[in-house]
């Protein structure tokens, strides 16, 4: 009986922190998601990948200014390139990426801005990023998309404000 | 425990041996491709040729399929029935069903392997549509999954037979764990099966012209996360029921072990969306919900950690160990089966924490599809699971062959070499991932190669080479054991007795069916709304492509 009780206490002494640790980490996560507003990609609609040439905004891929220090990048990916593959914005810009894929699954990964989103044929991806440092930053397709996957990339050039 | 020796007679032994043979042949292919990929990351040109590996990506596809689909699945389907028979203390139902299962899986493997080896299925083991492999690849993998269902069926038949002979008794812990593992997997594999049957197979055969990539991908990950618990739970089974006794101690708590397995049954499946945190077309609310469940499944892992460490502590102290941590050194480190599994556990501490980071919703934005993830799963499936299976093989193969292990020292060296090699390999990949290196990429040839990566890349090659040498030593040792080693009857290790025995557990912890119902409800709640929306709005309009 005494030994059984000891085992039980040990079990309890472990179970409580085992619950507290995940709950604590989850709380931290909720704070960053809703307090600091670090969101992940969500639903943004569908598009027919065979009709991108006739469907706005993918009929005119490129960088569009939508306000003071506010830009929209309309991004089309295909084997094995991004259109556009060079993006120029002034430092301090808030950039909305609206992207999709013309063929297989690709990914848009800009490590310097924590942009990490899949580009899936049939789906529209939408993410927002800020570029607060001047310089040239690479981006890459980070989903295997065929034999020349490693050649698929581009760069963001963050320029001084004119 | 004399009854344990009598069962798992030659019929079951041959069956297990057949599965293990296939598993280890697959592993040979897995480590060979792995070596070449590691060297590629170290800056050597990938030796593509039209006779064997056509490209780096052909290699990665083979590496993934052979290691995480074939090596694991065949090992598990050989190991779990063997353990269940010994746990029940009786032969399993229908050896004939066992052999049918093996041949279904073997046939499926051959069907999938032909296009895979022939570069007609260079789609990675995740086979994301609309990359389109040859239809035989999808049908073959589906047959392997069907084979695993037959294993579940055979265990369920055996459980019923045992129950009829032992009314009112608690199911023995090893058999309970084997059955829970297979029940969890069978439930979880419905996603993969649905994707194969309704989307990929008709599409690859040309019966429909297009498919829905996001729907296929979501169904894949519904199975693709629980599959890691399918790999892991047999390792846990060994850590709970065998290693404590092999090390000279007792299992700390049988009820807690059962409780953790039931939690894995309930919580393993409804959280695959954490692999799709960066996907469009899935609402972020459901991603957050499944991130929450991923944290919940950390709970039974912590219970396992406590229970296994407490069991090992009993062994270390029984062997004269003292102090708060010093007893750990007193464990039988000279026994390669124990040493390999202790090293696997150590590596899993890092792997488990890394997994939480990956699953942490918005933190996933930093690591998703980078080599950080590759570093992570080489500590988990690549070490916690693989090194444990190797440790099991060090007693199981001699037992099955009736020959002593050819070299204990080589086995010990192999285990340590795997551990050290993986430490180097995975540390380099974790750090490279944090510096923005994408995974599954022929990185030495990348258009965007970064100067900040070059210092670490050679270490990927160093670690990969050590792992390759270790893997070769393991396979060579088994080969020599099976062919030329001294003949002797090698007993399998007996199961550990529990300090807190099964009878102290609430009756509900001894049952499986009610928990399967809870698991189904969890799955429906977590996936129902998302899958319903994806199915209702699906457009089968994306044609298949072969772009490799």
Tell me what pLDDT residue B152 has.
98
With residue B252 as reference, give the H or E element that holds it. Answer: strand B251-253
Tell me what pLDDT residue A3 has.
61
pLDDT at B70 > cutoff 70: yes
- B425-458 per-position pLDDT tens digit: 999 999 999 999 999 999 999 999 999 999 999 9
Strand pairing category for A81-83 and A70-78: antiparallel
Q: What average pLDDT does this structure show over B222-228? A: 96
Other beta carbons within 10 angstroms of residue B454's beta carbon come to 11
What top-level class would CATH report for the domain A49-159? mainly beta
pLDDT at A152 > cutoff 80: yes
Strand pairing category for A115-119 and A86-90: unpaired
- Determine the Cα–Cα distance for residues B303 and B294; give it in Å rounded to an integer: 15
Tell me how far CA of residue B338 lies from CA of A1, B16, B215, B240, B501, in angstroms: 32, 21, 43, 12, 23
Q: What ipTM does this complex have?
A: 0.94
- pLDDT class of A1 with cuts at 50, 70, 90: very low
Write out the E strands in chain A: 62-67, 70-78, 81-83, 86-90, 93-101, 106-110, 115-119, 125-131, 135-140, 153-159
- B100-153 per-position pLDDT tens digit: 999 999 999 999 999 999 999 999 999 999 999 999 999 999 999 999 999 999
Nearest to B138 by CA among B185, B202, B234: B202
Residues 6+ apart with CB under 8 A from A62: A73, A74, A84
Percent of chain B with pLDDT over 90: 90
- Determine the Cα–Cα distance for residues A68 and A78; give it in Å rounded to an integer: 31
**Apex CA B116: angle with CA B112 and CA B119, to 5°?**
150
Q: Which of residues 259-278 of B touch A (CB under 8 A)?
A: 276-278
Q: Where are the alpha helices (DSSP H) in B249-385?
A: 254-267, 284-318, 336-359, 364-367, 371-379
Residue with tokens 């293990």: B20
- Determine the Cα–Cα distance for residues A142 and B186; give it in Å rounded to an integer: 31
Helices B336-359 and B371-379: crossing angle, nearest 10°? 150
pLDDT at B361 > cutoff 90: no
Q: Output b/e per residue, B99-135; b: 16+ Cβ within 10 A.
A: eebbebbbebbebbbebbeebbbbbbbbbbbbbbbbb
- Determine the Cα–Cα distance for residues B146 and B193; give it in Å rounded to an integer: 9
- pLDDT class of B10 with cuts at 50, 70, 90: confident
Tell me what pLDDT residue A19 has.
87
- Determine the Cα–Cα distance for residues A72 and A97; give it in Å rounded to an integer: 6
Nearest to B191 by CA among B254, B271, B115: B271
Cβ-defined contact of B364 to A4 (cutoff 8 Å): no
Residues of A in Cβ contact (< 8 Å) with B368: 116, 142
Find the residue in B nearest to A48 (Cα): B541
Cβ-defined contact of B545 to A107 (cutoff 8 Å): no
CATH 1.20.210.10 fits B14-441+449-536, yes or no: yes
Cβ-defined contact of B500 to A4 (cutoff 8 Å): yes
Which of the residues B54, B319, B440, B511 is marked catalytic? B440
| A101 upstream amide cis, omega within 30 of 0 | no
**Catalytic residue status for B54:** no
Chain B interface disruption, residue of A86, A96, A97, A120, most B CBs within 10 A: A120
Residue with tokens 């100067």: B451
Contact, B457 vs B432, CB < 8 A?
yes
Longest dimension (CA), chain A: 80
Tell me what pLDDT residue B4 has.
46
Enter the pTM of the model.
Answer: 0.96
Residue B207 is given by DSSP the state: S
Å from A74 to nearest chain B CA?
A: 15
Tell me what pLDDT residue A17 has.
85
pLDDT at B178 > cutoff 60: yes
Q: Output b/e per residue, A58-87; b: 16+ Cβ within 10 A.
A: beebebeeeeebebbbbbbbbbbbbbeeeb
- Determine the Cα–Cα distance for residues B128 and A144; give it in Å rounded to an integer: 9
Tell me what pLDDT residue A5 has.
73
Tell me how far CA of residue B3 lies from CA of B6, B9, B87, B90, B371, in angstroms: 5, 11, 10, 8, 49
Q: What average pLDDT does this structure show over B253-261? A: 93
pLDDT top residue among B11 and B94: B94
Residue with tokens 């396979």: B475
Nearest to B315 by CA among B496, B108, B84: B496
Contact, B500 vs A4, CB < 8 A?
yes
Tell me what pLDDT residue B1 has.
39
- Determine the Cα–Cα distance for residues B127 and B143; give it in Å rounded to an integer: 16
Q: What average pLDDT does this structure show over A63-78? A: 97
Tell me what pLDDT residue B5 has.
47
Strand pairing category for B498-500 and B251-253: parallel
Nearest to B252 by CA among B180, A91, B260: B260
Tell me what pLDDT residue A2 has.
55
**Catalytic residue status for B229:** yes
Enter the tokens of residue B466.
């050590």
Name the 3-class secondary structure at B70: helix
Sign of the alpha-carbon torsion through B156, B161, B166, B167: positive
Tell me what pLDDT residue B8 has.
58
Which of the residues B217, B225, B258, B274 is marked catalytic? B225
Q: Which of residues 29-68 of A touch B (CB under 8 A)?
A: 29, 32-33, 38-44, 46, 48-50
Number of H helices, E strands in chain A: 1, 10
**Catalytic residue status for B376:** yes
Residue B386 is given by DSSP the state: H
**Catalytic residue status for B378:** yes
Q: Where are the domains of chain B?
A: 14-441+449-536
- Determine the Cα–Cα distance for residues B48 and B43; give it in Å rounded to an integer: 14
**Catalytic residue status for B377:** yes
Sign of the alpha-carbon torsion through B325, B327, B330, B335: negative
Least trusted range by pLDDT, from A26-30, B184-188, B192-196: A26-30
Residues 6+ apart with CB under 8 A from B268: B184, B188, B225, B226, B229, B297, B519
Nearest to B313 by CA among B262, B249, B266, B358: B249
Cβ-defined contact of A118 to B448 (cutoff 8 Å): no
Q: Where are the domains of chain A?
A: 1-38, 49-159
**How far is C-alpha B347 from the chain's CA centre?**
15
Å from B450 to nearest chain A CA?
A: 9
With residue B3 as reference, give the H or E element that holds it. Answer: helix B2-6
Which of the residues B86, B274, B330, B439 is marked catalytic? B439
Residue B525 is given by DSSP the state: H
Cβ-defined contact of A151 to B445 (cutoff 8 Å): yes
Enter the tokens of residue B22.
């296939």
- Determine the Cα–Cα distance for residues B211 and A20; give it in Å rounded to an integer: 44
Cβ-defined contact of B539 to A48 (cutoff 8 Å): yes
For residue A38, give the nearest of B276, B362, B446 by CB distance.
B362
Tell me what pLDDT residue B7 has.
52
Q: What average pLDDT does this structure show over B516-539? A: 95
Least trusted range by pLDDT, from B7-21, B61-75, B169-183, B224-238: B7-21
- To the nearest 10°, report the CA torsion of B29, B32, B37, B40: -150
Cβ-defined contact of B303 to A15 (cutoff 8 Å): yes
The pLDDT mean for chain B works out to 95
Percent of chain A with pLDDT over 70: 98
Residues of B in Cβ contact (< 8 Å) with A19: 299
Chain A interface disruption, residue of B122, B275, B281, most A CBs within 10 A: B281
Q: What is the DSSP string of B332-362?
A: -TTSHHHHHHHHHHHHHHHHHHHHHHHHSGG
Enter the tokens of residue B274.
């954490």
């Amino acid at each position: 009986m005494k030994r059984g009780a000891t085992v039980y206490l040990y079990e309890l002494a472990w179970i409580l922190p085992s619950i507290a640790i995940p709950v604590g980490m989850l709380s931290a996560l909720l704070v960053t998601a809703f307090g600091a507003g670090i969101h992940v990609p969500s639903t943004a609609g569908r598009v027919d990948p065979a009709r991108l040439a006739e469907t706005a905004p993918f009929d005119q891929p490129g960088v569009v200014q939508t306000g003071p220090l506010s830009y929209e990048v309309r991004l089309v990916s295909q084997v094995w390139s991004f259109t556009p593959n060079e993006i120029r914005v002034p430092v301090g810009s808030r950039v909305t990426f609206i992207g999709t894929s013309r063929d297989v699954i690709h990914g848009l990964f800009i490590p310097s801005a924590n942009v990490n989103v899949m580009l899936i044929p049939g789906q529209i991806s939408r993410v927002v990023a800020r570029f607060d440092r001047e310089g040239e930053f690479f981006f890459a397709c980070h989903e295997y998309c065929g034999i020349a996957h490693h050649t698929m990339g581009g760069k963001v050039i963050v320029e001084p404000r004119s | 425990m004399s009854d344990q020796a009598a069962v798992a007679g030659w019929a079951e032994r041959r069956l297990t041996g057949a599965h293990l043979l296939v598993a280890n042949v697959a592993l040979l292919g897995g480590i060979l491709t792995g070596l070449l990929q590691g060297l590629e990351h170290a800056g050597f040109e990938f030796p593509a040729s039209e006779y064997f590996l056509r490209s780096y990506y052909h290699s990665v596809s083979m590496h993934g399929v052979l290691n995480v689909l074939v090596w694991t699945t065949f090992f598990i389907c050989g190991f779990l029935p063997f353990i269940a028979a010994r746990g029940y203390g009786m032969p399993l139902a229908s050896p004939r069903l066992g052999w049918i299962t093996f041949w279904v899986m073997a046939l499926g493997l051959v069907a999938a392997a032909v296009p895979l080896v022939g570069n007609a299925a260079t789609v990675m083991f995740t086979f994301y549509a609309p990359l389109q492999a040859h239809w035989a690849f999808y049908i073959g993998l589906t047959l392997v999954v069907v084979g695993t269902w037959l294993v579940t069926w055979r265990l369920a038949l055996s459980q019923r037979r045992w129950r009829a002979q032992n009314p009112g008794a608690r199911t023995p812990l090893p058999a309970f764990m084997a059955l829970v593992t297979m029940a969890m997997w069978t439930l979880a594999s419905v996603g993969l099966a649905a994707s194969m049957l309704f989307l990929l197979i008709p599409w690859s055969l040309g019966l429909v012209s297009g498919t829905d990539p996001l729907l296929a991908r979501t169904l894949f990950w519904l199975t693709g996360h629980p599959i890691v618990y399918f790999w892991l739970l047999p390792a846990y089974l060994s850590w709970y029921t065998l290693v404590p006794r092999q090390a000279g101690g007792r299992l700390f708590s049988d009820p807690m072990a059962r409780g953790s397995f039931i939690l894995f049954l309930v919580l393993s499946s409804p959280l695959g969306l954490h692999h799709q945190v960066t996907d469009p077309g899935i609402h972020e609310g459901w991603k957050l919900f499944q991130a929450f469940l991923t944290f919940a499944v950390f709970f039974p892992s912590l219970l396992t950690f406590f229970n296994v460490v407490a069991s090992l502590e009993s062994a270390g102290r029984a062997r004269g160990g003292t102090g708060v941590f010093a007893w750990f050194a007193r464990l039988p480190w000279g026994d390669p089966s124990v040493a390999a599994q202790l090293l696997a556990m150590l590596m899993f501490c890092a792997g488990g924490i890394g997994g939480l980071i990956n699953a942490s919703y918005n933190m996933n934005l930093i690591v998703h599809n980078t080599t950080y993830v590759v570093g992570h799963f080489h500590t988990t499936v690549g070490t916690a699971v693989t090194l444990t299976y190797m440790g099991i093989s060090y007693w199981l193969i001699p037992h099955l062959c009736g020959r002593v292990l050819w070299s204990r020292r080589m086995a010990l060296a192999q285990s340590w070499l795997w551990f050290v090699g993986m430490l180097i390999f995975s540390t380099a990949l974790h750090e490279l991932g944090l510096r923005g290196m994408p995974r599954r990429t022929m990185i030495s040839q990348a258009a965007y190669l970064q100067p900040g990566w070059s210092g670490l890349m050679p270490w990927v090659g160093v670690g990969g080479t050590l792992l390759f040498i270790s893997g070769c030593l393991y396979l060579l040792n088994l080969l020599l054991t099976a062919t030329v080693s001294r003949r002797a009857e090698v007993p399998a290790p007996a199961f550990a007795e529990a300090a807190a025995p099964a009878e102290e557990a609430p009756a509900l912890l001894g049952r499986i069916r009610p928990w399967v119902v809870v698991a189904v409800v969890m799955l429906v709640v977590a996936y129902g709304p998302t899958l319903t929306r994806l199915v209702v709005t699906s457009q089968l309009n994306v044609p298949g492509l072969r772009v490799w």
